[in-house]
Chains A and B, each alone.
Chain A
Amino acid sequence: MSAVAKGGRRGGLGASRWTPWLYLAPALIVLAALLVYPIYQLGLISFLEYTQAQVSGGEPATFQGFANYTELFSDRQFWEVLVATLVFAAVCVLSTLVVGCGLAVLLTRIRAVSRLALMLAALGAWATQAITGSTVLVFLFDPDFGPVNKMLVWVGLSGFEDFSWTYDRYSAFALVLFEVVWCSFPLVMVTVYAGIKAIPGEVLEAASLDGASNWRVWRSVMAPMLRPILVVVTIQPIIWDFKVFTQIYVMTNGGGIAGQNLVLNVYAYQKAFASSQYSLGSAIGIVMLLILLAVTLIYLRLLRRQGEEL
């Protein structure tokens, strides 16, 4: 669709090949100064011995080569945490997408009052601070004081009288997953819902007249049309969920029992920032950047193979 006039227009009205760069300039300048430059510094710091003592001038900064990286890679816990982070983030992203898209489709099918209620509830969840949301959820699921276990028992599920959600590694992760999905599905839901609303009604009608199942309508009609939206709402949760911090920190009391619920960002915080080991923290930051970059590139490569142009 956008094949028109890519070349021809350029010469026409005084636009040169510099025009896009001119438009990009403000963004690039801001980002170069406030993002690229700090990241460059971060890379630099990761090769130094750089703790609070060096920062405040108490001791000189010394070059360490790859020492910080060696320390990191030789720590067995780092690898365990890395694997946990990757799996947890993947589950979070998938759940967020499934819940968000599912509810978006549901939104198009229900009465106006219910729709408004769900919409407002979702927007409220979105507007809430992660730290508050996590705190409230811990309250709700508290084995002694929380109403959730009491409700589960009341519904007739046994074994929940004294069930502690945060004692077992997987139920603790599940609880955090719930919070992460709770506060990030609204973005997906609202965006995808808006997208569906904008799909011409006839298209959907035609599809359902053909007797296609809900799943098929989604798979072969909606999803392709929504792709530009889906790209954005996938990439962002990947980045956010890989870096999840507040939820784990608040809900599992800093990484769970004996560190069973640690993810990379919390690990970095405890290992490096809480005790001002900035160089080690920078090394972890760089490693995270590289991993996320790889994941994003693979994702975009896959998209391109399917014919989606960026």
Chain B
Amino acid sequence: MLIAVVVAFPLYWMVLSAFKPASEVQSSNPRPWTLNPSLDAFRPVFDHQDFGRYFLNSLLVAGTVVVASALIAFLAATAVTRFKFKMRTTVLIMFLVAQMVPVEALTIPMFFLMRDLGDSVPGIGLNTLGSLILSHIAFSLPFAIWMLRGFVKAVPESLEEAAYLDGASRTRFLWQILFPLVLPGLIATSVFSFISTWNDFLFAKSFIISATENSMLPMALLVFFKDEGNDWGGIMAASTIMTIPVLVFFVLAQRRLVSGLGGVVKD
């Protein structure tokens, strides 16, 4: 319980600072409570920006990324666990390689890739949500595949044998038998892709240049970091608003998450 308090304390402080009036946020006598809760800090978050629009954009991008990367990762994980082939290990490690480069370095070539893609394919060039979706799929795939490997592995081989004996085709086995069995794992894995996409602003600020209507939620947070002094109240308020949906999602998925993740060890 004490540990829970320690872990949650920074979080509590964030929410608290969001509700404190400006003069109390930085005072030499910090109190772990406030007697004058105020919504002042929240006002600029909603007032000066198209917050609802950003919210929907983030939701759309994160949702698409979660579904697409889950499907792609499922296929890939099946390939690397239930087949033996040359270069299997190489492929697995290659999945990780991209994550090893600092993203700042990668955004430059990716920027030009997106710009040129956009010239030939509408919908995924610069300034589109498509560019964000594609990049996030690419960056959440490696982890998803590595996680899913365990789940796919945990499905007994005997089940597969039985399915084929019953005359099921490979495709049928894949989608009607293996897929539902791995589904809890997929949900668990999705949580990771969701959080990383939801919280990212690096791609958003690199690729969305002139189309502000396609901006993402974290950009609304960045507005409060300024050269001549950060607006702490605003930062905390925006962070609070951003964290809440994820937290709600977590609480709902908590049980599933645990049982899903546990699937890896079942033998």
CB distance from B141 to the nearest CB of A (A): 6
Query: Quick check: A123 and B94 within 8 Å, CB to CB?
Result: no
CB distance from B120 to the nearest CB of A (A): 13
Q: A91 — which chain B residues lie within 8 A by C-beta?
A: none
Tell which of A120, A133, A265 has the most Cβ of chain B within 10 Å. Answer: A120
Q: How far is the CA of A17 from the CA of B88 in the complex (A)?
A: 12
Beyond A31-B94, A195-B264, whether A129 also contacts B7 by CB under 8 A is no
1/0 per residue, CB under 8 A from A, across B140-182: the answer is 0111011101100100011011001000011000000000000
Query: Quick check: A236 and B143 within 8 Å, CB to CB?
Result: yes
- Does B52 count as interface, using CB distance less than 8 angstroms? no
- Does A245 count as interface, using CB distance less than 8 angstroms? yes
- Does A194 count as interface, using CB distance less than 8 angstroms? yes
**For residue A132, which residue of chain B has the nearest CB?**
B239
- Does A171 count as interface, using CB distance less than 8 angstroms? no
- Does B246 count as interface, using CB distance less than 8 angstroms? yes
- Does A257 count as interface, using CB distance less than 8 angstroms? no
Beyond A1-B157, A30-B137, A293-B100, whether A228 also contacts B265 by CB under 8 A is yes
Beyond A20-B85, A35-B138, whether A292 also contacts B14 by CB under 8 A is no
Name A129's contact: one of B75, B138, B221, B250 (CB within 8 Å): B221
CB distance from B110 to the nearest CB of A (A): 5
**For residue B251, which residue of chain A has the nearest CB?**
A120
Q: How far is the CA of A55 from the CA of B53 in the complex (A)?
A: 32
Query: Quick check: B146 and A232 within 8 Å, CB to CB?
Result: yes
- Does B64 count as interface, using CB distance less than 8 angstroms? no
Secondary structure call for the B interface? helix
Q: A4 — which chain B residues lie within 8 A by C-beta?
A: 157-158, 161
- Does A259 count as interface, using CB distance less than 8 angstroms? no
Q: B251 — which chain A residues lie within 8 A by C-beta?
A: 120, 123
Query: Quick check: B79 and A24 within 8 Å, CB to CB?
Result: yes
Query: Quick check: B14 and A128 within 8 Å, CB to CB?
Result: yes
CB distance from A41 to the nearest CB of B (A): 4
CB distance from A29 to the nearest CB of B (A): 9
Give the tally of cross-chain contacts (CB within 8 A).
301
Query: Quick check: A17 and B265 within 8 Å, CB to CB?
Result: no
Which stretch (B25-33, B37-45, B55-63) binds chain A? B25-33
**For residue B31, which residue of chain A has the nearest CB?**
A147
Query: Quick check: A31 and B141 within 8 Å, CB to CB?
Result: yes
Q: A13 — which chain B residues lie within 8 A by C-beta?
A: 164, 169-170
Q: A23 — which chain B residues lie within 8 A by C-beta?
A: 75-76, 78-79, 83
- Does A155 count as interface, using CB distance less than 8 angstroms? no
CB distance from B192 to the nearest CB of A (A): 8
Query: Quick check: A195 and B262 within 8 Å, CB to CB?
Result: yes
Query: Quick check: B83 and A228 within 8 Å, CB to CB?
Result: no
Query: Quick check: A265 and B102 within 8 Å, CB to CB?
Result: yes
Q: How far is the CA of A293 from the CA of B246 in the complex (A)?
A: 32
Query: Quick check: A129 and B10 within 8 Å, CB to CB?
Result: no
CB distance from B203 to the nearest CB of A (A): 11
In the assembled complex, 11 residue pairs joining A and B whose CB atoms fall closer than 8 Å, in A order, are A15-B170, A19-B83, A20-B80, A30-B141, A38-B109, A42-B105, A125-B7, A194-B262, A195-B261, A243-B102, A281-B102
- Sort A-B residue pairs by CB-CB distance and give the 6 closest, nearest first: A194-B261, A198-B262, A285-B105, A35-B98, A121-B8, A41-B109
> Which residues of A does B touch, CB under 8 Å?
1-2, 4-6, 9, 12-15, 17, 19-24, 26-28, 30-31, 33-39, 41-42, 45, 55, 103, 106, 114, 117-133, 135-137, 139-140, 144-147, 150, 182, 187, 190-191, 193-199, 225-226, 228-229, 231-232, 235-236, 239, 242-243, 245, 265, 268-269, 273, 278, 281-282, 284-286, 288-289, 292-293, 296-297, 300, 310
